[in-house]
Amino acid sequence: MTDTPRLELIGITKAYPGVVANNNVSLRVMPGEIHALLGENGAGKSTLVKFIYGVQKADSGILKWEGEVTDIPNPNVARKLGVGMVFQHFSLFDAMTVEENISLGIAPELAKSGLTQRIIDISTQYGLPLEPDRYVHTLSVGERQRIEVVRCLLQDPQLLIMDEPTSVLTPQEVEVLFRTLRQLAADGVSILYISHKLQEIKDLCHTATIMRMGEVVADCNPAEETPRSMAEMMMGGNLTPPERTGKAVPGEPQLIVKALNVASSHSHGTDLKDIDFQVRAGEVLGIAGIAGNGQQELMDVLSGEVLVSDPESIIIDGNPVGASGPNQRRSVGMTFVPEERLGHGAVPQMSLWENAFLSGATRMNLLNNGFMRIKQSEEYAATIVEEFRVKTPGIANVAESLSGGNLQKFIIGREILQKPGIIIALQPTWGVDAGSAAAIRQSLIDLAANGAAVLVISQDLEELFEIADRLSVICEGRLSPGRNTEEVNVEEIGLLMGGISSEPITEVAAHAD
């Protein structure tokens, strides 16, 4: 390994109106190094990597590539230098095939004939199976990410930037990705790795740079740190992991779902088959599963966005609601935290208090003969902001101006303050920084301790083991029977997520030994 860093940033500063996204940031990445970039939402990581990839310009600072001062005005130049990037929000085109997507994102010379074969070669070499003719909208999230990775690899990158690559992957998919990344690093490729998942960073990365409020606050060796110590460096304070305050004795079932069969409305969705479960007052039921196994469909059916013909198949606190819409379900005690924050959980262009009104109108009595009670709605929003420590200049700010973690705290708070009998949350901490995630989990646990039923559907096993009393797994639209969290381990759940039922587990384990 030479001493010349592959990439060196010196004093990068970038300001947006009102915020300094990067303030005098310096960083060096050596060849063959897996370098973590850590920080909470809004710490300036994305701004920094967008600058490296030429998507955004910095106000001042120097970028050195292989020791030479270099200017990267646009992504084409970045790619020519050998910088590849996998975006957090995939830069893919749904209505195009895998191959078309790949050919758009690489140098024109590479997009000539023989591309199909090279895609297949690269994807087998690194264990990332892809079918070049498939349309992207038919693929799972994990498969979509593979497209981005293969697209980068086709260009022989010297530096690979990955922006939160694992937030949408299953444990098994993460393993495959890590194997690929280690193989690349061994071949001399530098990797700049952004993630919130500190355990992953500890397992994978050689060095880490920690950012807070746009500045570098520490450099460290992740192997010598604990996830908790890194989280505290990111936050600049102490992290309180969620705690359970004694176990409430589960009470009456708040939600009963019986023999639920629903055909998906999307042509590539998953049909729900014979879903059967209960959530009792005072308990947290976690539903694990790989993305695209029916979670979204289950959420749609439970929230009333999709109705079923038999009202008795969904019962909330004794009321059959299978055929009733979301507002009726709210009025009998159910509230929801959808996965998509902007567009589903909140209206992006509306202010926080308007968003509070939209969801709370029924349960918070914010309507007066069809007119909005504006003052009460504002008070309600202000209470949410205060109690759930949402960072925002004010409740008149639009939802989309908040960072992901803050908006999610607002949405969770909005639903919890409605004092639900049952709350349903889909991926409640997706893309949320460690501090906010801990706060969100704690508030869900507290809600259950106060006697509400909580249903959390998540792909994040760590999260589910932390907060759930019972666990089920959804796979291909079927739900496994719930089991007490203390009685199962991550491996068993992982196998269930992969579609292997609990019976042959011992057998598989025996063979593995």
Partner 1 sequence: MIDFVVLVLLTIITASTPLVFAAIGEIVVEKAGVLNLGVEGMMIVGAIGAFAVAVTTGDATLAILAGALSGLVLAFIFGFLTLYLLSNQVATGLALTLFGIGFSALLGNGFVGQTYGGLPHLDIPILSDLPIVGQLIFGQDILVYLSVVSAIGVTWFLGRTRWGLAVRAVGENHDAAHSIGFSVALIRMGAVLFGGAMAGLGGAYLSLAHTPLWVENMTAGRGWIALALVVFASWKPWRAFFGAYLFGGITIIQLHAQGFGLDVPSQILSMLPYLATIVVLVLISRDDSRLRLSAPACLGRSFHASG
Question: Ramachandran region of residue 296, left (φ > 0), alpha (ψ -120 to 50) or beta?
Answer: alpha
Nearest residue to 503 (alpha-carbon basis) of 476, 473, 495:
495
Measure the CA–CA gap between 439 and 467, rounded to whole angstroms.
Answer: 12
Based on CB atoms, which residue is closest to partner 1, 75 or 320? 75
Strand runs labelled E in 66-104: 68-69, 83-86
Q: Are strands 159-163 and 83-86 parallel, antiparallel or unpaired?
A: parallel
CA 216 to chain CA centroid, nearest Å: 24
Please give the DSSP secondary-structure letter assigned to residue 401.
Answer: G
Which of residues 340 and 387 has its CB atom nearest to partner 1 in the complex? 340
Q: Give exposure, 433-457, as e/b (b: 16+ Cβ within 10 Å).
A: bbbbbbbbbbbbbbbbbeebbbbbb
Nearer to partner 1, 108 or 370 (CB): 108
Distance spanning both ends of the chain, measured CA to CA: 38
The C-alpha atoms of residue 289 and residue 335 are separated, in whole angstroms, by 22
Minimum CB separation of residue 95 from partner 1 in Å reads 5
Q: Say if CB 426 and CB 288 are below 8 A apart.
A: no
Q: Which is nearer to partner 1, 163 or 463 (CB)?
A: 163
Rounded-to-integer distance, Cα 278 and Cα 302, Å: 12
Whole-number minimum distance, CB 185 to partner 1, in Å? 24
Q: Which is nearer to partner 1, 96 or 358 (CB)?
A: 96
Tokens of 466: 């932390």
Instruction: Please report the sign of the dihedral spanned by the C-alpha atoms of residue 76, residue 78, residue 81, residue 83.
Output: negative
- Assign 3-class secondary structure to 3-24: CCCCEEEEEEEEEECCEEEEEE
Considering the complex, state which of residue 106 and residue 461 has its C-beta at the smaller distance from partner 1.
106
Contact status, residue 440 vs residue 235, Cβ threshold 8 Å: no
- The token duo for 92 is 């893919």
Judged by beta carbon, residue 87 or residue 353, the one nearer partner 1 is 87
Give the nearest distance from C-beta 34 to partner 1 in angstroms. Answer: 23
Residue 21: CB minimum distance to partner 1, A: 12
Q: Residue 484's closest CA among 283, 298, 302? A: 283
Least distance in Å: CB of 55 to partner 1? 6
- In the complex with partner 1, the residue whose CB is nearer, 94 or 274, is 94
Cβ nearer to partner 1, comparing 112 with 511: 112
Q: How far is the CB of 155 from partner 1 (least distance, A)?
A: 12
Min dist. Cβ of residue 103 to partner 1 (A): 7
Binding site for partner 1 (CB under 8 A): 53-55, 74-76, 78-79, 87, 89-96, 100, 103-105, 108, 111, 135, 137, 265-268
| Amino acid identity for residue 198 in this structure | L
3-class secondary structure, 105: coil
Q: How far is the CB of 70 from partner 1 (least distance, A)?
A: 16
Using the minimum distance from each CB to partner 1, give the nearer residue, 192 or 384.
192
Nearest distance from C-beta of residue 439 to partner 1, angstroms = 28
Rounded least distance, CB 22 to partner 1, Å: 15
